[in-house]
Amino acid sequence: MALLMTTPPGHDVLLYDGHCRICSGAAREFKRLLGGRGTELRSFRDDGVLEAFPGISPERCEKAMQLVQADGRVLEGAEAIVRALGRHPLGRLLYVYYVPGLRQLADVLYGAIARYRFKIAGRNCSDAGCAVHFK
């Protein structure tokens, strides 16, 4: 996959789905773990959020969390989580993600959870987003 770049925010920004119980719960846990360690958490569904990051579409965000790094590089999915939590002392253990084979497995598992997150969480979307998830 090609490297996606966007407007550099000067600090890391993790974009998550604020309509998803799993995503919102994960964001709360990330906030607790990271404290003030330089990562801002924002729901891509909030007004104006994606306008700040040209090139990151709602469709990309529907499929995976997006980590916009301070320099504007964008990582997504399992890798975004690994890199965001890598700031936490114990989060460095997640770099096992880069072991060949484990990365592919983690990406497949992440993709399945992301695709079915509304079914797993037992909640329907409040907007047209469910058309994406319940195809």
Range of the domain at 82: 4-124
- The answer to whether position 25 is within a domain reads yes
- The answer to whether position 133 is within a domain reads no
CATH number of domain containing 86: 3.40.30
* Contact status, residue 107 vs residue 78, Cβ threshold 8 Å: yes
- The answer to whether position 129 is within a domain reads no
Q: What is the pTM of this model?
A: 0.84
- The answer to whether position 132 is within a domain reads no
| Overall domain count for the chain | 1
Per-residue pLDDT of the chain (135 residues; tens, 9 = 90+): 568 999 999 999 999 999 999 999 999 998 988 876 788 999 999 999 999 999 999 999 999 999 999 999 999 999 999 999 887 777 778 889 999 999 999 999 999 999 999 988 876 555 555 554 444
The first and second tokens of residue 75, run together, are 């990582």
Q: Residue 66 in 3-state DSSP?
A: strand
- The answer to whether position 12 is within a domain reads yes
